Amino acid sequence: AQKYVLTKYFQGEPKKSDFKIVEEELPELKDGEILTEAQYLSVDPYMRAYMIGYKLPTDMIGGQIAKIIASRNKNFPVGKYVTASFGWRTHTVCNPEEPPSLGFLPLTLVPEVKPHPVSLALGVLGMPGNTAYFGLKEICRPKAGETIAITGAAGAVGSHVGQIAKILGCRVIGFAGTDEKCQYLKEIGFDHAFNYKTADIRAALKEGAPKRVDCYFDNVGGEISSTIINFMNKNGRVAVCGSISSYNDNMLPKATILQPALVFKELQIEGFLVNRWIDRWEEGVNANLNWLHEGKLQYKEKIYHGFDNMVEALVGILRGENTGKAVVKVK
């Protein structure tokens, strides 16, 4: 068994030398416990941002899909898959009622998703899917006919938010970092998609949102967010989900004056963490599963290969290599 231990705080992009891969001895299984083997590990932007607050050295956080390979718990038989926050490790021994908590994901059995891959439990049927579902429904609270803008739109959360917003009858405008990603967003139903690296953002907003923006799902922060917020309608709602544009700067705050827009348009702007809805987790997964079965929810995965390539995968998503959810296939 192996695990990643973070030994240095990230400076700029994460580096392999910030980690040590450590061999682990696994304990004997006690009554009620299971032994799992990681199949897919998740890489998520929060990993870059969160590790700033940890005391080092520390086990690397993260969700994974693992196969139960030994069990002394009849509710969790050998051969089944679980998702859990086991961190970046190949094997885990735990009692499923008291799992390790190295991340955002509760321990659950992976729902039957055939013909789709089990890895969806890290994407549309997992933490990003629930972030999209609850962040949109509970914070943006879009009504049919309203216009929603989404940044980080081609990623795991953003691409999902846009599709739910279409299901709810909204006009959807997305911003992503390449023309190919924008093309994909149009294929999955976005009304407009703009490459934020080449477009004039105000002109894009005028074209894509002629009635201005009612809801903004903010995955990136920074200047583009200020431009969008200043383009919103009265009583608009902003769900602040992430600020990936500043994660590699160790979150140095950048001053932007937003108060006039907030005051005169009486905007509601609210940050959230998806674990706020941990008690409603299944509701989100089931809603997303139903939309998937109905063919209303499409997804893409960017699959990296090998436990040794975790850092490359994490850097990859921070650089925008992924469309949809990025995961690492362990073997």
Q: Is 176 in the site for ligand NDP (CB under 6 A)?
A: yes
Q: Applying CB under 6 A, which of residues 129, 158, 208, 284 lies at the interface with ligand NDP?
A: 158
Q: Is 241 in the site for ligand NDP (CB under 6 A)?
A: yes
Shortest Cβ 304–ligand NDP spacing (Å): 13
Tokens encoding 116:
């789709």
Q: Is 245 in the site for ligand NDP (CB under 6 A)?
A: yes
List C-alpha distances in Å: 98 to 29, 142, 175, 213.
14, 37, 40, 44
Shortest Cβ 323–ligand NDP spacing (Å): 7
By CB under 6 A, which span of 50-58, 161-169, 286-294, 318-326 interacts with ligand NDP?
318-326
Whether the link from the prior residue into 115 is cis, omega within 30° of 0, is: yes
Tokens encoding 76:
């969790």
Interaction with ligand NDP in 7-66: which residues (CB under 6 A)?
Answer: 44-46
**Cβ neighbours of residue 108 under 8 Å, at least 6 residues apart?**
82, 83, 84, 281
Question: Between 234 and 280, whose beta carbon lies closer to ligand NDP?
Answer: 280
Which of 227, 177, 181, 182 lies closest to 202 in space, CA to CA?
Answer: 227
Question: Between 96 and 242, whose beta carbon lies closer to ligand NDP?
Answer: 242
DSSP string, 49-97: HHGGGSPSSEEPP--EEEEEEEES-TTS-TT-EEEE---SBSEEEE-TT
Question: Between 62 and 177, whose beta carbon lies closer to ligand NDP?
Answer: 177
Q: What angle do CA 272, 223, 199 make, to 5 degrees?
A: 115
Which of 218, 236, 123 lies closest to 174 in space, CA to CA?
Answer: 218
Give the binding-site size for ligand NDP (rule: CB under 6 A): 28
Q: Is 178 in the site for ligand NDP (CB under 6 A)?
A: yes
H helices then E strands: how many in the chain?
9, 16
Question: Between 68 and 287, whose beta carbon lies closer to ligand NDP?
Answer: 287
Q: Applying CB under 6 A, which of residues 62, 128, 129, 142 lies at the interface with ligand NDP?
A: 128
Question: Between 96 and 284, whose beta carbon lies closer to ligand NDP?
Answer: 284
Interaction with ligand NDP in 254-313: which residues (CB under 6 A)?
Answer: 272-274
Backbone angles phi, psi at 73, to 5 degrees: -140, 115
Q: Applying CB under 6 A, which of residues 63, 96, 129, 152 lies at the interface with ligand NDP?
A: 152
Shortest Cβ 47–ligand NDP spacing (Å): 9
Interaction with ligand NDP in 183-222: which residues (CB under 6 A)?
Answer: 219-220
Q: Which residues is 327 bridged to in the sheet? A: 42, 303
The residues binding ligand NDP (CB under 6 A) are 44-46, 128, 131, 152, 154-158, 176-178, 181, 219-220, 241-242, 244-245, 272-274, 317-318, 320, 322
